[in-house]
């Protein structure tokens, strides 16, 4: 009682050092705590940038999870991890939250090396169920006793891996709780008062106890078991009529919900109920993206991932130059106006990849396949077999998820699919799970694949124009950030000799030309005059480039990619 009196009319959040402190609060005190956390989210993310909408929508859910479960003994696995900001705040990282996405600061995603409360590394979507099931099965094998909770958004359910995890979880029968954070897509809407009543009734602890006892009695005789099967069939038929969410139960999950994701009392009661089930259970929670910040509520996609912004206006705090992404968006629209065979595909990243204008101007030629990169690539292959010219716009880090499809479905068949690979190279604040530093390495050895790396806006326009004229797979790789906007034409298949030299050559890939140019200018001031060569076509390495490099004794390569398997290593092999 003394603790509560001390907290009265004071900031609740400053007293929450770890999740066990949260449990000292009354349920009625959790609502004002939620508002304090929202204020911290807004003031911090407006300064650091980050994922805002999803975290504003998950405040009450996160509070309820830590109020019911005992982290780190109980494992909470966050899908993607970009909705884990509140989790970080409640697990001892509130004071350092201002360092989010900064060098040496907090990661924008879950990271076990950062906290024992982060169960897994998570930066890509649709992985939580599989990770959580692995943890649950390991727990059972070791004879341990703790809860495992996977939190997954409705968008992540468009990823095939999520269904593989759900299917396996049902057959494994390990005790596992999956929380479906439904904040956008109406997966299955309950119908009418009867449905609501059934959902509430079957979540009642008394109902669960009676159900267990009745099952025990009926299982004792053959007649009882026959009677149970008859009742089961009737119950299933009734559920199909009034509760379309039976989909999850048909997979083997016990379904609970839907619960108001902003009502902490409902959430706490539902989570406590879920703990009583012996097998896999799915709790359906309805939330609103951007909750508590009107601008994010109206434009949740815009505020999904933001740079620094003004809280009053919602506008960015600094003007950006024209980015590679926007140049791509303009270019693809321009090319599609002249070529009606061009179609565009995205994996739930319309705005992020620059396809918003294309989607508005050519809605019949635009396809958002959801968070399903592997499907997107094979879907593009299908489009290409019928004479269309598909472009798949995707972040480099997410294209990794479709490696087999690139090889098997596109390149072996030598189909004219264009890959617009955004965020290639180091992307900065999003951390290690989002760095696009592997694409040159994993694309370089695939037969029939051509890779272009434009250094600026002019070369980018030419690269895509060239790509759509080719009858084979083409990848155009470009970084996050501003593109130097110049106007000229060139041949992307030919290397550019920017400056000649005699003994030393500096060979650059894409935007790395400009820092290399600065380095060469500094060398020039010291009396050293290396040749500066922009490759443009990274793979296959052109015979003309190899011929040019024959006269040099020292060759330096500059690329925004891991060294292992990258352009430098491939060039070294080619000239050895």
Burial level of 5, CB count in 10 A (0-12/13-18/19+)?
exposed
pLDDT of amino acid 244: 42
b (16+ CB within 10 A) / e for 434-456? bbbbbbbbbbbebeebbbbbbbb
**Structure tokens that stand for 343 in this block:** 């179609």
Closest CA to 90 of 150, 147, 24: 24
Closest CA to 158 of 401, 369, 353: 369
Backbone angles phi, psi at 189, to 5 degrees: -90, 125
pLDDT of amino acid 312: 86
- What is the SS3 assignment for 367? strand
Ranges of residues in the chain whose predicted pLDDT is under 50: 1-9, 185-198, 201, 238, 240-242, 244
Provide the phi-psi class of 477: left if phi over 0, else alpha when psi is between -120 and 50, else beta: beta
Residues 6+ apart with CB under 8 A from 48: 98, 99, 100, 101, 102, 308, 429
**Structure tokens that stand for 89 in this block:** 């705040």
pLDDT of amino acid 197: 44
| Residues β-bridged to residue 558 | 508
Closest CA to 375 of 351, 343, 342, 398: 398
pTM of the model: 0.81
pLDDT of amino acid 193: 44
Closest CA to 453 of 311, 343, 559: 559
- Tens digits of residue pLDDT in 525-554: 999 999 999 999 999 999 999 999 999 999
Closest CA to 18 of 94, 90, 98: 90
Element (H, E) at 539: strand 537-539
pLDDT of amino acid 204: 58
Closest CA to 190 of 260, 137, 143: 260
Question: Which one-letter DSSP state was computed for residue 204?
Answer: -
pLDDT of amino acid 393: 98
> Which sequence positions are flagged as catalytic?
289, 373, 401
pLDDT of amino acid 502: 84
């Amino acid at each position: 009682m003394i603790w509560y009196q001390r907290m009265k009319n004071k900031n609740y959040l400053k007293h929450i050092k770890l999740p066990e402190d949260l449990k000292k609060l009354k349920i009625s005190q959790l609502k004002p705590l939620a508002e304090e956390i929202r204020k911290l989210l807004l003031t911090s993310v407006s300064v650091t940038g980050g994922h805002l909408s999803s975290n504003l929508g998950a405040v009450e859910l996160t509070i309820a999870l830590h109020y019911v479960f005992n982290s780190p003994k109980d494992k909470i696995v966050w899908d993607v991890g970009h909705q884990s900001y509140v989790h970080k705040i409640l697990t001892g990282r509130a004071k350092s939250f201002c360092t989010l996405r900064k060098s040496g600061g907090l990661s924008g995603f879950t990271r076990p090396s950062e906290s024992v409360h982060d169960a897994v590394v998570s930066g890509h979507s649709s992985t939580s169920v599989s990770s959580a099931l692995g943890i649950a099965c390991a727990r059972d094998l070791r004879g341990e006793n703790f809860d495992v909770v996977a939190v997954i958004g409705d968008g992540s359910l468009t990823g095939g891996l999520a269904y593989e995890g759900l299917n396996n979880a049902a057959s494994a029968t390990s005790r596992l709780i999956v929380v479906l954070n439904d904040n956008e897509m109406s997966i299955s809407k309950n119908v009418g008062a009867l449905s609501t009543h059934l959902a509430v009734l079957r979540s009642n602890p008394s109902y669960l106890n009676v159900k267990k006892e009745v099952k025990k009695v009926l299982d004792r005789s053959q007649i009882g078991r026959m009677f149970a099967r008859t009742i089961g069939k009737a119950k299933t038929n009734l559920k199909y009529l009034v509760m379309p969410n039976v989909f999850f139960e048909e997979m083997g999950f016990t379904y609970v919900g839907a619960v108001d994701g902003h009502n902490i009392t409902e959430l706490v009661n539902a989570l406590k109920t879920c703990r009583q089930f012996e097998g896999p259970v799915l709790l359906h929670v309805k939330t609103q993206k951007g909750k508590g910040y009107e601008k994010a509520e109206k434009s949740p996609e815009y505020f999904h991932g933001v740079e620094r912004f003004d809280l009053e206006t919602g506008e960015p705090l600094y003007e950006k130059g024209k980015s590679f992404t926007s140049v791509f968006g303009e270019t693809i629209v321009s090319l599609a106006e002249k070529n009606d065979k061009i179609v565009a595909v995205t994996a739930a990243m319309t705005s992020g990849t620059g396809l918003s204008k294309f989607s508005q101007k050519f809605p019949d030629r635009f396809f958002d396949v959801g968070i399903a990169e592997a499907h997107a690539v094979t879907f593009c292959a299908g489009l290409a077999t019928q004479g269309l010219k598909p472009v798949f716009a995707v972040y480099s880090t997410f294209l990794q998820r479709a490696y087999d499809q690139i090889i098997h479905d596109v390149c072996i068949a030598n189909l004219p699919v264009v890959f617009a690979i955004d965020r290639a190279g180091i992307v900065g604040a999003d951390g290690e799970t989002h760095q696009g530093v592997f694409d040159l390495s994993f694309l370089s050895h695939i037969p029939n694949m051509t890779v272009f790396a434009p250094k600026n806006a002019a070369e980018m326009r030419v690269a895509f124009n060239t790509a759509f004229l080719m009858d084979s797979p083409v990848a155009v790789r470009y970084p996050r950030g501003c593109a130097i906007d110049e106007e000229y034409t060139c041949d992307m298949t030919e290397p550019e000799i920017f400056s000649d030299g005699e003994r030393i050559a500096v060979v650059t890939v894409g935007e790395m030309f400009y820092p290399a140019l600065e380095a060469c200018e500094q060398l020039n001031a010291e009396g050293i005059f290396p040749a500066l060569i922009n490759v443009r076509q990274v793979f296959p390495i052109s015979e003309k480039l190899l011929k040019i490099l024959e006269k040099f004794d020292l060759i330096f390569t500059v690329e925004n990619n891991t060294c292992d398997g990258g352009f430098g290593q491939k060039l070294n092999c080619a000239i050895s």
